[in-house]
Amino acid sequence: MSQQTTEVELFELPMATNSSKSKKYSGIEWSPMWALFTVIGIGALSIWARSGLVLIGFLGIIVLAHEGGHLLAARRSGMRPTEYFWGFGPEIVAFDFNGCRYGIKAILAGGYVKIHGMTPTSELPEGFAEADSYRAASHRGRLFTILAGPGVNLALAVVAFAVALMMEGVKPLSAIGQGFGLVWSMTVATIGGLWTFFTSLGGYVETVFGLTEVADAPVRFMSPVAQAQVSNFAVESGLGTSLRWFAILSCAIGIVNLLPLPPLDGSHAVVAFVEGVWQRLRRDPSQRLNVTRLAPLAWVTLGVLVMISLSALVIDIRELV
Domain boundaries, the chain: 29-320
> Residue 70 and residue 24: Cα distance in Å, rounded?
21
Instruction: Give the pLDDT of residue 289.
Output: 81
Instruction: Give the pLDDT of residue 1.
Output: 43
Contacts of 156 (CB under 8 A, 6+ apart): 62, 65, 246, 247, 250
Instruction: Give the pLDDT of residue 166.
Output: 97
**Which among 3, 158, 147, 4 has a CA at the least distance from the CA of 70?**
147
To 10 degrees, the CA torsion angle through 254, 257, 260, 264? -160
| E strands present in the chain | 29-30, 83-97, 100-114
Query: Rounded to 5 degrees, what angle do the CA atoms 98, 264, 298 make?
Result: 115
Instruction: Give the pLDDT of residue 9.
Output: 40
Q: Which tens digits make up the pLDDT trace of 270-289?
A: 999 999 999 899 888 888 88
Instruction: Give the pLDDT of residue 119.
Output: 86
Q: Which tens digits make up the pLDDT trace of 97-125?
A: 988 999 999 999 899 999 999 988 889 99
pTM of the model: 0.88
Positions of the chain with pLDDT lower than 70, given as ranges: 1-23, 321
> Residue 315 and residue 70: Cα distance in Å, rounded?
35
Sign of CA dihedral 21, 22, 28, 30: positive
Instruction: Give the pLDDT of residue 288.
Output: 83
The overall longest dimension of the chain from CA atoms, in Å, is: 70
Task: Using DSSP, state whether 30 is helix, strand or coil.
Answer: strand
> Residue 119 and residue 56: Cα distance in Å, rounded?
32
Instruction: Give the pLDDT of residue 77.
Output: 96
Beta bridge partners of 95: 102
Please give the order of strands across the beta sheet that includes 29-30.
Answer: 29-30, 83-97, 100-114
**In this structure, are residues 120 and 135 in contact, taking their beta carbons and an 8 Å threshold?**
yes
